[in-house]
Amino acid sequence: MALQRETEQRIRHELRGILLALLMVAVTTVIAFALTRYLDVRRGSVIYLLPVMLAGWHLGLIPALVAAAAGLLWSGYFFYSPFYAYFLSRPAEILNLVLFMIVGLVTSHLANSAKQHAELARKRENEMSDLYAFSRRLAAAPSAAEIYLAIEEYVANLLQRNVVLYEASNSDDHANQSAVPEEMRVVIGEIQSGSLPATTIEDNKGNTWFMRRVSQRTPDFGVIAIDLGRAPKNMVAGTRQRLDEALSDAAATLERLDVARSLTEAKMRSETELLREALIGSVSHELRTPLASILGAATVLTQSPVIDKDERLKSLASVVHDEAERLNNDIQNLLDATRISRGQVKPRMEWIEPQDIVNSALERRRRRLSSHSIAVAMDSNLPLIYVDPVLVEQAFVQVVDNAAKYSPAGSTINVAAKRNGHDVIFAVEDGGAGLTGEELSHLGERFFRGSRHSTIASGSGLGLWIAKAFVAANGGRIHAASQGADQGTTVSLFLPLAKDAPQPEPDSDE
């Protein structure tokens, strides 16, 4: 049935080509008529090569041949004596026309094969760039799952079919694999172990899926299921053979690119990463408990009457307090970084007054900012924004911290909240170390710190990275600008306005 449909389609396609070719000949004929009638041109039969070439290039061989035959007829009519008649009187002219026919045929053939060559070259080029993109993706893949996804998309693109890849894995903890029905999992297991070379199954929509290992040589690349659609049984064998060939090409490519090693490395990388993050998480937590005691005790000391009377002791007590607080912030940054890389940042959105976020952040950092002069300018009628206020505040605190850290004591830090188009912008401008173009380009990378900045203040290079992640979780972005070294820095948080800003409640009592 499908075969019949395919043939029908091809015939329809050719008929359309022939019709178009005849149309081109007709247009040419109108021009030829005008040439002979009004301009008295008598040696113009070459004009009929034009539709032949065009048809050969765009429509294929058969339409080109039809165009040649029609052209032959009409050029006999217009350009050979007796003019405006289909029959020819002189033998030389018959020869002339036969020559025309031969040139037409050769032209159409050349045009057609040139077109095919060009298409083939373009296809090769696409394949090469696909392959290049695929190999780059493999090299950069952060996890095995990412590699399997790449293989799946690569094969799907190559075969031009729906494919599903079942990862080579002993554990059942992958989400897409746990969604696989039990009987299916048995089949996959058998194929993966090699006891069943390949099979076809039918899904509940009546589609036939052909299943086999991606590579017959190694189970590492997983088991692939290819959608054959509603193909009849006798069709499957032919399609299978074509797919087998295409797949063995793909498998050879995978082997050549050393996908197996990439997979092992990615698995190891993600395990190391997990271990490291678990370690950071638990160590940070253990460190915080004693820090809470140190910080609390320091605040009691600074308030005790005995120490309050002695300036030297008082300053020592505040050293304990400030350093403990700094340590606590560093630990908080590590915990936040862990939370971000585990994808555990889940914003709790609510409507909030933008100024509230700025005020809360400045209040939280009042002690640290006390050595700077803070100039606040906030528009009084900013619209409400729909964000997680706690996350945005934490991002803003990071930005304010940086401003205080990298600008000299006594200098002014300008804090602004304003509306600009579809965003509310929180801006922090300091008169400090500034950023060079080079430093700007690395800004916001995890652990990035400019060498100049390291000499000014200690830090982990996590702050702005965390801020970016928190703001991004709220649909916003961070932008940093600086005129250059020692020219100060302006960091702006852009938070998008929601489309449906809330109206006051309907039964307002005013």
Partner 1 sequence: MSEPSPVVLVVDDEVQIRRFLRAGLELDGFVVQDAETGADALKWVTLKQPDLIILDLGLPDMDGGDVLERLRAWSTVPTIVLSVRSNEAEKVRLIQGGADDYVVKPFGMAELLARAHAAMRRQVRASSGEPMVKAGPLHIDLAARIVTLNGARVMMTPKEYKLLQILAAHAGNVVTHQYLLKEVWGSPHMHDTHYLRIFVRKLRQKIEEDPTQPRILLTELGIGYRLAIPEPSKPTMQ
Buried b or exposed e, range 116-132, using 16+ CB within 10 angstroms: eeeeeeeeeeeeeeeee
Interacting residue with partner 1 among 53, 158, 211, 324 (CB under 8 A): 324
Q: What is the largest CA-CA distance in the chain?
A: 132
Sites for partner 1 among residues 373-402 (CB under 8 A): 376, 378-380, 384, 388-390, 393
> Binding segment for partner 1 among 106-114, 166-174, 199-207, 356-364 (CB under 8 A)?
356-364
Please state the separation of Cα 253 from the chain's center in Å: 23
CB closer to partner 1, 224 vs 295: 295
Q: Residue 165: which of 220, 230, 232 has the closest Cα? A: 220
One-character DSSP codes across 56-109: HHHT-HHHHHHHHHHHHHHHHHHHSSSTT-SS---HHHHHHHHHHHHHHHHHHH
Record the tokens describing residue 249, joined without a space: 């090409």
Beta strands in 269-422 (DSSP E): 350-352, 373-378, 385-387, 412-420
360 binds partner 1 (CB under 8 A): yes
356 binds partner 1 (CB under 8 A): yes
CB closer to partner 1, 198 vs 291: 291
Map residues 100-119 to x or -, x wherever contact with partner 1 holds by CB under 8 A: --------------------
299 binds partner 1 (CB under 8 A): yes
305 binds partner 1 (CB under 8 A): yes
Q: Is 206 exposed, middle or buried (0-12, 13-18, 19+ CB in 10 A)?
A: exposed
Residue 214: CB partners within 8 Å, gap ≥ 6?
151, 155, 165, 221, 222, 223, 224, 247, 250, 251, 254
Interacting residue with partner 1 among 126, 162, 176, 304 (CB under 8 A): 304
Q: Cβ 404 to partner 1, closest distance in Å?
A: 19
350 binds partner 1 (CB under 8 A): yes
CB closer to partner 1, 344 vs 451: 344
Q: Could you give the residue ranges of the DSSP H alpha helices within 160-199?
A: 175-178, 182-193
CB closer to partner 1, 289 vs 451: 289
Sites for partner 1 among residues 425-464 (CB under 8 A): none
Sites for partner 1 among residues 276-295 (CB under 8 A): 288-293, 295
Q: Cβ 371 to partner 1, closest distance in Å?
A: 18
* Cα dihedral 120, 126, 129, 131 in deg (nearest 10): -80
> Binding segment for partner 1 among 68-76, 90-98, 127-135, 372-380 (CB under 8 A)?
372-380
Sites for partner 1 among residues 218-257 (CB under 8 A): none
Residue 327: CB partners within 8 Å, gap ≥ 6?
287, 291
Q: Cβ 347 to partner 1, closest distance in Å?
A: 11
Q: Cβ 499 to partner 1, closest distance in Å?
A: 14
Name the β-bridge partners of 385: 352
382: DSSP letter: P
332 binds partner 1 (CB under 8 A): yes
421 binds partner 1 (CB under 8 A): no
Q: Cβ 397 to partner 1, closest distance in Å?
A: 11
How far is it, in rounded angstroms, from Cα 71 to Cα 78? Answer: 10
Q: Cβ 341 to partner 1, closest distance in Å?
A: 16
CB closer to partner 1, 40 vs 509: 509
Q: Cβ 471 to partner 1, closest distance in Å?
A: 15
Q: Residue 448: which of 429, 430, 467 has the closest Cα? A: 467
CB closer to partner 1, 45 vs 284: 284
Considering Cα of 405, then 406, then 411, then 413, what sign does the dihedral take? negative
> Binding segment for partner 1 among 239-247, 353-361, 398-406, 469-477 (CB under 8 A)?
353-361
Q: Cβ 378 to partner 1, closest distance in Å?
A: 4
Q: Is 241 exposed, middle or buried (0-12, 13-18, 19+ CB in 10 A)?
A: exposed
How far is it, in rounded angstroms, from Cα 375 to Cα 358? Answer: 12
Residues that bind partner 1 (CB under 8 A): 288-293, 295-297, 299-300, 303-305, 324-325, 328, 332, 348, 350-353, 355-357, 359-360, 376, 378-380, 384, 388-390, 393, 417, 502, 504-505, 508-510
